[in-house]
Structure 1
Amino acid sequence: MERFLRLYQIRYAGRLAGIMLITSLFSFLLHGLGIGKENILMLFIVGVLLVAYCTNGYQYGVIASIVSVMVFNYLFTEPVRTFSISNQDDVILLIFFLVAALISSNLTVRFRNQVEVARKNEQLAEQLTMEQERIKFAMEKEQMRSNLLRSISHDLRTPLTGIAGASSLIAESGDKMDRESIVSLGKDINEQADWLIQLVENILNMTKIDSGKLVVEKKPEAVEDVINNALSYVKGRRKQRRVEIDIPEEMLLVEMDGKMIVQVIINLLDNAIKHTKEDGFIRIKTEAAPEGVWFSVEDNGTGIEEVIKDRIFDEFVTFRPVNRDTGKGIGLGLAICKAIVTAHGGTIEALNREEGGACFRFYLPFDGHLPEKEQ
Structure 2
Amino acid sequence: MGRFVEQLKKITAFPRNERGKQPDKKLVMKNIVIMLFIMAACTGTAMLLRYVGVNESNIVMIYLLGILLFSYLAGGYYYSFIASVLGVLLYNFFFTEPYYTFRAFNPDYPVTFVIMFIVGFVTSMLTIRIKQETFLSEERERSIEALYHLGRKLLAVKNKTELSEVSAEEIAQQFPCDIMIQFYDEKAKICSKYIKGNDVFSDDKELIVCHEAFQSGSPCGFGTGLYSEAKAFYQPVICSVGVLGVIGISLHDAQPLKKAQKDFLDAVTPQIAVVLEREMLYEKQEETKLQVQRERLRADMLRTISHDLRTPLTGIMGSASTMIDHYPSLGDDVKKEFLNNIYDDACWLNELVENTLNMTRFEEGQVKLNLAKEAAEEIVAEAIGQIKKRAFHHHITAKMPAELIMLEVDGILIKQVLINLLNNAVNYTPDGSEITIAVDYDENNFLFSVSDNGPGISEEDLPHIFERFYKRQDQTFHSRRGAGIGLSLCKSIIEAHGGLISVSNRQPHGTVVSFSIPSKEEKPDAAADFDHG
Same topology, TM > 0.5: yes
1:256 and 2:416 correspond: no
**How far apart are the structure 2 equivalents of 1:302 and 1:136?**
40
1:331 and 2:484 correspond: yes
Alpha-carbon distance change, 137 to 347 in structure 1, aligned in 2, over 3 angstroms: closer
1:357 and 2:507 correspond: no
Match for residue 474 of structure 2 among 314, 317, 321? 321
Alpha-carbon distance change, 138 to 343 in structure 1, aligned in 2, over 3 angstroms: closer
CA RMSD of aligned residues (A): 2.9
Q: Which structure shows the bigger proportion of residues in strand conformation?
A: 2
1:288 and 2:441 correspond: yes
Poorly superposed stretches of 4+, deviation over 4 Å:
135-147
Quote the offset at 1:173 in angstroms. Answer: 3.3
Structure 2: unaligned runs, 5 residues or longer: 1-287, 522-533
Q: Secondary structure at the match of 2:431?
A: coil
Q: Secondary structure at the match of 1:306?
A: coil
Which residue in 1 is equivalent to 2:225? Answer: none
**How far apart are the structure 2 equivalents of 1:232 and 1:150?**
32
1:195 and 2:361 correspond: no
Quote the offset at 1:205 in angstroms. Answer: 0.7
**How far apart are the structure 2 equivalents of 1:348 and 1:183?**
39
Match for residue 158 of structure 1 among 300, 307, 311? 311
**How far apart are the structure 2 equivalents of 1:290 and 1:183?**
50
Q: Secondary structure at the match of 1:277?
A: coil
**Contact 1:277-1:322 within 8 A present in 2 as well:** no
Quote the offset at 1:306 in angstroms. Answer: 2.8
Which residue in 1 is equivalent to 2:388? Answer: 235
Match for residue 149 of structure 1 among 302, 305, 326? 302
**How far apart are the structure 1 equivalents of 2:479 and 2:452?**
15
**How far apart are the structure 2 equivalents of 1:255 and 1:144?**
31
Quote the offset at 1:325 in angstroms. Answer: 3.8
**How far apart are the structure 1 equivalents of 2:367 and 2:292?**
27
Match for residue 168 of structure 1 among 321, 332, 336? 321
Quote the offset at 1:147 in angstroms. Answer: 4.6
List aligned pairs for 1:70-149, cutoff 5 A: 147-149=300-302
Q: Secondary structure at the match of 2:448?
A: strand
**Which protein, 1 or 2, shows the higher relative CO under an 8 Å CA cutoff with sep ≥ 6?**
1
Quote the offset at 1:190 in angstroms. Answer: 1.2
Quote the offset at 1:175 in angstroms. Answer: 3.8
**Contact 1:222-1:251 within 8 A present in 2 as well:** yes
Which residue in 2 is equivalent to 1:311? Answer: 464
**Contact 1:274-1:322 within 8 A present in 2 as well:** no
Q: Secondary structure at the match of 2:436?
A: strand
Which residue in 2 is equivalent to 1:299? Answer: 452
Q: Which structure shows the bigger proportion of residues in helix conformation?
A: 1
**One-letter identity of the residue aligned with 2:509:** G
**How far apart are the structure 1 equivalents of 2:319 and 2:418?**
29
Quote the offset at 1:239 in angstroms. Answer: 4.5
Q: Secondary structure at the match of 2:482?
A: coil
Q: Secondary structure at the match of 2:403?
A: coil
**Contact 1:224-1:251 within 8 A present in 2 as well:** yes
Structure with the greater alpha carbon radius of gyration: 2
Quote the offset at 1:219 in angstroms. Answer: 0.9
**Contact 2:294-2:363 within 8 A present in 1 as well:** no
Which residue in 1 is equivalent to 2:424? Answer: 271
Q: Deviations over 1:31-58 (max 9, x none)?
A: xxxxxxxxxxxxxxxxxxxxxxxxxxxx
TM-score by length of structure 2 reads 0.41
**Contact 2:394-2:435 within 8 A present in 1 as well:** yes
